[in-house]
């Protein structure tokens, strides 16, 4: 599991003078409590306008999002196929999401979402870019905007799961593995069996 660590990127945050540990007993992640400062479009590696001129449109709601098409992108990058109806429920229960539509086909080509409690914590899921559109900055564009939106809401404990081969994508975006030895743990029923 990776945690967002503002210290690893200088442009988004400054260190706080006051450390508010609201939930010391439950979250190891609460050690990171910086004060978000306003993030402007100039901090983004590519502007909305520039993306639009290349035929890519940003969306922040699931209106106009064809979930079967989104599911196809998930499958194309190797995620197991999931019921589209369940994806719909998951997205309805998602606080922040972003997707990029390719104007020419009207299909989603990049996606990311974050679930959470709306004030302290968020976990980012389903970061994907259609393989035909990878390597041109769309993944970074989506992640920058999603993190920015969370920080604007004051949410500073931001975590995600990363496959080893993608660590290098997340690091420049401000994510670090095991800061101060903090480890993410996942429930694993299988391992408890004798
Ligand atoms: C990982 C993924 C989201 C990256 O999206 P992308 O649009 O291809 O990446 P970008 O073009 O925005 O790349 C941004 C930067 O990250 C780098 N990068 C991209 N993928 C990388 C990887 N796997 N490892 C290291 N660096 C990577 C790029 O070189 C680029 O660097 P630059 O800013 O110095 O030019 C995309 O490749 C993908 O969907 N992969 C399959 C699904 C997946 O693994 N999702 C993550 C689940 S943990």
pLDDT at 189 over 90: no
**170 in catalytic set:** yes
pLDDT at 166 over 60: yes
Give all domains of the chain, ordered by start, each with its CATH number: 2-192 (3.40.630.30)
Alpha-carbon distance 9 to 34, whole Å?
12
Question: What number of other Cβ atoms are within 10 A of residue 119's Cβ?
Answer: 12
pLDDT tens digits along 43-83: 799 999 999 999 999 999 999 999 999 999 999 999 999 99
Alpha-carbon distance 124 to 146, whole Å?
9
| 6: exposed, middle or buried (Cβ count in 10 Å: 0-12, 13-18, 19+) | buried
Q: Is the CB of 125 under 6 A from ligand 1?
A: no
pLDDT tens digits along 17-37: 334 433 333 333 433 444 444
Q: Which atom of ligand 1 is nearest to the CA of 79?
A: 42
DSSP codes joined into one string, 45-78: SS-HHHHHHTTEEEE-SSTT--HHHHHHHHHHTT
pTM for the complete prediction?
A: 0.85
Query: Which of the residues 102, 161, 170, 187 is marked catalytic?
Result: 170
pLDDT tens digits along 109-153: 999 999 999 999 999 999 999 999 999 999 999 999 999 999 999
């Amino acid at each position: 599991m990776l945690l967002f660590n503002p210290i690893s990127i200088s442009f988004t945050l400054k260190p706080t003078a006051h450390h508010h540990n609201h939930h010391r007993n439950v979250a190891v992640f609460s050690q990171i409590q910086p004060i978000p400062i306003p993030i402007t479009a100039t901090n983004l590696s590519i502007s909305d306008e520039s993306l639009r001129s290349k035929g890519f449109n940003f969306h922040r709601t699931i209106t106009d999002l064809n979930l079967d098409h989104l599911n196809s992108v998930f499958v194309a990058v190797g995620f197991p196929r999931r019921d589209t109806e369940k994806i719909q429920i998951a997205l309805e229960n998602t606080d922040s999401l972003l997707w990029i539509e390719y104007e020419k086909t009207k299909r989603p080509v990049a996606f990311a979402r974050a679930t959470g409690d709306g004030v302290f914590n968020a976990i980012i899921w389903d970061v994907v870019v259609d393989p035909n559109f990878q390597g041109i900055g769309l993944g970074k564009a989506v992640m920058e905007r999603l993190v920015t939106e969370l920080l604007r809401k004051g949410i500073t404990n931001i975590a995600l799961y990363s496959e080893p081969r993608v660590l290098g994508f997340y690091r420049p975006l401000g994510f670090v593995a095991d800061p101060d030895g903090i480890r993410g743990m996942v429930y694993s029923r299988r391992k408890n069996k004798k």
